[in-house]
Amino acid sequence: MTDLFHSPAFDWDKNLFQFINSHNSPFWDKVMWVITSTQLGLLFFLILSLLIVYFYRKQSWKILLLIAAVTLMADAIGARVLKPTVQRLRPSHDAEYHGDYQVHLLQKRDGTYYKGGKYSCPSNHAINYLTSSLLFFFFLSPKVRRRWLLAIFVFGITLLSCYSRIYVGVHYPFDIFCGWLIALFLAGVAILLVGRVIIPNSEKTGDNI
């Protein structure tokens, strides 16, 4: 399957990656390093989890358990099933595919460069962020008056995180798209099968803002 990604059919993917990755600067390197970090992801999920607790009170543990279970399952499918099966090398590990183009990587404090793991497709950042974001938005949107602000925050952070993975040189755009498709499917199934059961009993708790 690796040869497929090196075929002309995926030239658009390589070219788009190089376009995004090549538009860099020392300032944006620092910004993207923060955006792509695990710490920001944990803070993002913590804020949304606290909102769930605030609005749903005693029912919140069911919602948080559901979001955690679906996100962990999605992460495992991406990392332990699809990546080893597809075996697409990350752009940071596949210099031959890029020819004369030098992939822009971020330098760590110890002087080495951040390259991520060996395989790249699908992006687990894309899977984890969008899966949890969709579920958080589903449960929080009935509780807030300005849903558009919630949407901008939740999906804005998700898009920035996914963009950062291309910027720092560890994912192609196609990896991100594949991650989104997996997230849409799994989050959609969870909402249809379980989400509707939880919300009717929870709408009576919490105050809208």
**Domain 2-202 belongs to what topology?**
Vanadium-containing Chloroperoxidase; domain 1 (1.20.144)
Residue 23, φ and ψ in degrees, nearest 5: -90, 85
pLDDT at 204: 44
Position 206 scores a pLDDT of 45
Tell me what pLDDT residue 205 has. 45
**Which pLDDT belongs to residue 193?**
85
- pLDDT given at position 202: 45
∠ CA 55-209-42, nearest 5°, is 55
N-to-C CA span, the chain: 50
Domain layout of the chain by residue ranges: 2-202
Taking the C-alpha atoms of residue 150 and residue 24, their distance in angstroms, rounded to an integer, is 29
The reported pTM is: 0.91
SS3 label, residue 113: strand
The pLDDT tens digits of the residues spanning 22-63 come to 999 999 999 999 999 999 999 999 999 999 999 998 889 999
pLDDT per residue as tens, the chain (209 positions): 667 888 899 999 999 999 999 999 999 999 999 999 999 999 999 999 999 999 998 889 999 999 999 999 999 999 999 999 999 999 999 988 888 899 999 999 898 999 999 999 999 999 999 999 999 999 999 999 889 999 999 999 999 999 999 999 999 999 999 999 999 999 999 998 876 666 655 454 445 66
Long-range contacts of 140-149 (CB under 8 A, 24+ apart): 140/48, 140/51, 140/52, 140/55, 142/199, 142/203, 143/55, 143/206, 143/208, 143/209, 144/208, 144/209, 145/208, 145/209
